[in-house]
Amino acid sequence: MDPALHDIIARMFRVLLLVVAPTVFFVALASTLVSALQAATTIQDSSLKFGVRLLAFALVMYFLAPLFASHVVAFAQHVYGP
């Protein structure tokens, strides 16, 4: 495999991990907290869990979108040059 191609693929996976990991972490954390709350209060509404996940995803995207965009733009500049 060409070393330049290997470098591009490695950077692509690094950017993918930097973008996806915080989103998955915070959505999973919100889901776990809601599940614990539901177990403690015996509220078993399934729409509550989905609503909180959606809210957590929207908040992560709102606050971290500039960071995600900077990683993606830096990757694109590396691949396609200045």
How would residue 82 be classed by pLDDT, with cut points 50, 70 and 90? low
| Dihedral pair phi/psi, residue 45, rounded to 5° | -85, 120
What is the tens place of the pLDDT at every residue in 68-77? 999 999 999 9
For the chain, the structural domain boundaries read 3-77
What is the tens place of the pLDDT at every residue in 3-31? 889 999 999 999 999 999 999 999 999 99
39 vs 25, higher pLDDT: 25
**Could you give the CA distance from residue 38 to residue 52 in angstroms, rounded to a whole number?**
12
Tokens describing residue 51 = 């609503």
